[in-house]
Homo-oligomer: A and B are copies of this chain.
Amino acid sequence: MVAELNFDNPTVVSLVTYGAVLVGKMLFLLLLTSIVRIMRKNWANPEDAKAFSNARSNEEAKRMTVRDEAVERVRRCVLNDMENIIPFLLLAPMYVLTGPAHDTAVLFFRIFVVSRFVHTITYLFGLQPFRGFAYGAGLFVNSVFVYQIIKNGKF
């Protein structure tokens, strides 16, 4: 019997739950970006500065679009999430289709989720080399998925 992508498969129930937690974390960072922009009065576009920080002239609005390091740090954290969490969310269902043991699959899901929460916290607070380890753990899980899928797949 082949593995199905529906809620009769407990591995799928587990995957969507952890997957929603991961995407929820990404959405929280998008919200945090807006909060930090308001606090730092720093915007991506002049029209944003006028609408949300009461910039009165075009010159004042333009000054509010100069790179701000606090905003850029959150942006880099979002981008790193996209480069790692999105591959995970694309690979994980393919991996589930190969029919892995439930406990093994859930273990990988948990390692990945923990690694990305540690990554976000260590990124926002600038803690190295802990962020490097967390990044490596996530990349390791994704690499295992790639290997397992190709091993069970057919070109």
Interface residues of A (CB under 8 A from B): 2-8, 10, 12-14, 16-21, 23-24, 26-27, 30-31, 44-48, 50-52, 73, 76, 78, 82-84, 86-87, 89-91, 94, 97-99, 126-129, 131-132, 139, 142-143, 145-146, 149-150, 153-155
Contacts and interface: CB of A to CB of B under 8 A. Distances in A.
A30 B86 CA distance: 13
Nearest to A132: B51
Contact of A126 (B20, B45, B87, B139): B45
A84 B89 CA distance: 15
A25 to B, nearest CB: 9
9 contacts: A2-B6, A5-B6, A7-B98, A16-B98, A23-B90, A27-B142, A30-B139, A45-B76, A89-B90
Nearest to A149: B20
Contact of A2 (B8, B83, B143, B153): B8
B99 A7 contact: yes
A27 B143 contact: yes
